[in-house]
Structure 1
């Protein structure tokens, strides 16, 4: 694959509402991000992905946009953003923003005009159906029908997500052109690109036929009819041609529902996007990302198989965005390590396992500290609309309140959205007043101040790991090299090789609490990376200690 500038980046995802509050109102903001650029630069970050900061009523924390050209006042002003772009650039840090073009807020002026004047052109900016009955039995991603009745009229509008997030009508050419003009405005402003939200939802099954129900509510999930539908390729080709292709920008697609044999269209040489997130291993503990109460048993062997299948499929066609956490996922420590969620060696091993895969690594805020899930005592403590929906759906499906709360605690998106703990003071140094969302219970033990400069801390490990990928003699292989699985017979080991034509690195990660032997019949074995202080190698192979990450070359 031809080398691209974005392959070398280290991306750090910021959830602005929870990163740093600069003005004491309990909500993180743009100036707060600017304040912490030194922290990010010191870690080794080269790019920030900032979740939506556009004007929004915040029903879905910014993913419901009411004005694409203005900022939410709680986050700051356009001058604040210009200052952030300037100061980040001075530190060699690029910035990408979220691009949310499947839907708007119901408080966007387009939708307000569509509702108040059904004969206006804006009525065709959205998807409406006339009738006295709900048009079909499709279920929204956040629960309930995808159809919301318009007050005072026999008419319904479509929303794949929350009812305050009406879907845009991509069949309307004027809608598409208007969106492209907006995308180009932001690229002209100097951002480096976009993370593109829910992009596979822009094309619907235009028959709008009901399907067989898959739940006791009589509904069927709309992902079967409103995600990655035939014909979406025409929209995505046009989007790229009219926007991204005109700039040397990076595009990272949130594209659930894409099959591996379709990856060439999405990230191939002429693909729609630079890289893609693959959620198949992120959602291995549930039947689907939108049905948390359908828990699925999993093993490290199963995780290994999903990761390597993903890596080999993406490598065949293009480039991937590697992650273990984001704003829609619980903390990786709790999800993948379970009873070892507070074990520093295990957290470091997990971090190295995903970080050194082929692709651009993404770090979510707080991941570099080893933050864990919370344990909320009541559904009233949750902010996330998806968590609240899943709690009541679980009860509807026959779970007790206690069981439903346990399920939501495990998967809630609020787990990753708790305010960032900068120190152990009240509110963790995030704010001088009560934050918009409750702190994680253990922030006095897990916070940035307690880890910066501490040799064995998770933060310092991430810093060393980033430097190893970016600046060591092995960087070319670790960044641009290919990947292949190592055929291990140990079910608790994830192992792979990174290689170029003249270099090979053997990578082993022990998820067990036992010593494990791995055969490795090569010449003079040289350990080049190790998360523990000691290692054991011999002529026949290596002995991995519990929670050990070991990289070996010759």
Structure 2
């Protein structure tokens, strides 16, 4: 009894609202078009709040809706306090915040402060006058003997240095696209501008931010060459600008000047952070409430920005990475668990290797795998109905700047056009940016018109929300069951705050348990062969209609997933 009381006391001390949320990520351009122009918008999100409430999510993460030339679909911001006209107005956003709040749904926005658009007023002023104070808001360097200052390759390919118009031998720096110049975090005045903007948004009533590419804000100040790692003669910018020494000063100040002042949530996109530094990021005095871990998400490629470097991963590899991630996060703080996002392909096409199970069975299995891990679950739009990757026949069908770069990088590395297109089809960020499939109509119910800013995946007759709502065996209904079990059942404290521990299983099965007042076990078979598991107890969730038994043991069918209450009644 004393141990139980101590555990409950610990849980009470650790409870925070953001740990109990179920977050739904919306890519606004592709969610729902309310005015028939072929582009999703803020009013479209408001119109679909009933759907989101029915699903049971409690928080929305909205990808960038700020004023932008949309070179990188909004991650190139020209005005941090303005709303991009194609998405609507500030009044539309206020209406969305209030309408969501009335349904018990909070809203967080994307915070993109590693870089701005080259159309931001600060950068325009920096270009117009080399003596302007805004020149120091960005990174400008002189070239070397007519060449760029160093050999760093940008994330989207080519040099990170772009010549400054009408200035001889002068360049500006961009980690990503040339129209996304990096902000100079070494400048205290720039940092204060950023903090003022963040606090301005928090005062408007949003619940917090997902912070984009935040581990890139500190650059090695020697600006020396990086080791060459490609046929283009360049070295990845990551070697000199990702999670570099000294970043702790910036991130601690960011937290102190903004997030700590509010009852809000901060979710860091923090690639490149080793596990032995997680305490700095998400510990008791960490920079953020939680971060995304990409160690397992990029299992299919050697490098998340070079898709032609494929890996031949197996379920046991995913299991090892997933367990290592969970144990590292648990030792330090809190994690943000995900299968998909706007930078990843569809999980059903990525993790289910047998195409026969890239259907509701596979979608439910993957949902079970990630949803009950320790941390806050993030659902990406369309994941809850089992949307899949597309197959494009030509590079001209792609919108994503990174996809186009990877196609040309693949050709440069010696791959054929067919091979290069295959790499992009498998990994393109456009896979998750295709319009949401609301129904089986020609335009998938995305818009009242026949317009669409990006081609549809094309399988809306087989996969759409309208067919799944109210259907007890649908992927949508299964996600509702998972949310109910995690957030509203007698097991909620265990599934939210309980400890994570891996279970010994066959290579093809990922098994783990969550322990608190109860002990719940999760088993997911990631193969097309039957697999035995050692578990007895009450069956709480199952993506099949039955759980087979053989010789006194329970048997998982192909891609079967179950949640079992250990020690409960054996069904």
TM-score under structure 1 length normalisation: 0.98
Deviations 1:422-474 (A, max 9, x none): 11112111111310000112112111111111111111111111111111111
Q: CA deviation at 1:411?
A: 0.0
Contact 1:418 1:437 in 2 (8 A): yes
2:389 corresponding residue in structure 1 = 373
Contact 2:65 2:83 in 1 (8 A): yes
Q: CA deviation at 1:219?
A: 0.3
What is the correspondence of 1:35-74 to structure 2 with a 5 Å cutoff? 35-74=47-86
2:556 corresponding residue in structure 1 = 544
- Find out whether 1:107 has 2:107 as its counterpart: no
Partner SS for 1:426: coil
Worse overlay, 27-36 or 539-548: 539-548
- Separation (CA, whole Å) in 2 of partners of 1:466 and 1:205: 44
2:310 corresponding residue in structure 1 = 295
- Separation (CA, whole Å) in 1 of partners of 2:190 and 2:291: 25
- Separation (CA, whole Å) in 1 of partners of 2:175 and 2:550: 57
1:469 corresponding residue in structure 2 = 486
Deviations 1:362-388 (A, max 9, x none): 000000010000000000000000000
1:128 corresponding residue in structure 2 = 140
Contact 1:340 1:346 in 2 (8 A): no
1:478 corresponding residue in structure 2 = 495
Q: CA deviation at 1:152?
A: 1.6
Contact 1:519 1:540 in 2 (8 A): no
| Matched pairs, number | 549
1:235 corresponding residue in structure 2 = 250
Contact 2:41 2:87 in 1 (8 A): yes
TM-score under structure 2 length normalisation: 0.95
Q: CA deviation at 1:538?
A: 7.5
Instruction: Give structure 1 stretches of 5+ with no counterpart.
Output: none
1:85 corresponding residue in structure 2 = 97
Partner SS for 1:214: coil
1:161 corresponding residue in structure 2 = 176
Q: CA deviation at 1:183?
A: 0.2
Q: CA deviation at 1:540?
A: 5.3
Q: CA deviation at 1:54?
A: 0.2
What is the correspondence of 1:403-418 to structure 2 with a 5 Å cutoff? 403-418=419-434
1:455 corresponds to which of 468, 472, 486: 472
Deviations 1:340-376 (A, max 9, x none): 4533112101111111111000000000010000000
Contact 1:334 1:372 in 2 (8 A): yes
- Separation (CA, whole Å) in 2 of partners of 1:359 and 1:262: 18
Q: CA deviation at 1:519?
A: 2.4
Q: CA deviation at 1:541?
A: 3.8
Partner SS for 1:297: coil
1:402 corresponds to which of 410, 415, 418: 418
Q: CA deviation at 1:268?
A: 0.2
2:45 corresponds to which of 33, 37, 49: 33
- Separation (CA, whole Å) in 1 of partners of 2:531 and 2:226: 50
Partner SS for 2:273: coil
Partner SS for 1:280: coil
Partner SS for 1:179: helix
Q: CA deviation at 1:246?
A: 0.1
1:393 corresponding residue in structure 2 = 409
Contact 2:216 2:241 in 1 (8 A): yes
Deviations 1:241-297 (A, max 9, x none): 000000010011000000000000000000000001001111011011101000111
Q: CA deviation at 1:494?
A: 0.3
1:426 corresponding residue in structure 2 = 442
- Separation (CA, whole Å) in 1 of partners of 2:549 and 2:252: 51
Contact 2:151 2:225 in 1 (8 A): yes
Contact 2:357 2:559 in 1 (8 A): no
Partner SS for 2:444: helix
Partner SS for 1:428: coil
The root-mean-square deviation of aligned C-alpha atoms, in Å, is 1.1
Instruction: Give structure 2 stretches of 5+ with no counterpart.
Output: 1-9
Partner SS for 2:454: coil
2:226 corresponding residue in structure 1 = 211
Partner SS for 1:12: strand
Give the direction of change, closer, same or farther, for the CA distance of 1:391–1:58 in structure 2 (3 Å limit): same
2:541 corresponding residue in structure 1 = 529
Partner SS for 1:526: strand
2:273 corresponds to which of 235, 258, 267: 258
- Separation (CA, whole Å) in 2 of partners of 1:74 and 1:384: 18
Partner SS for 2:430: helix
- Find out whether 1:306 has 2:326 as its counterpart: no
Give the direction of change, closer, same or farther, for the CA distance of 1:460–1:148 in structure 2 (3 Å limit): same
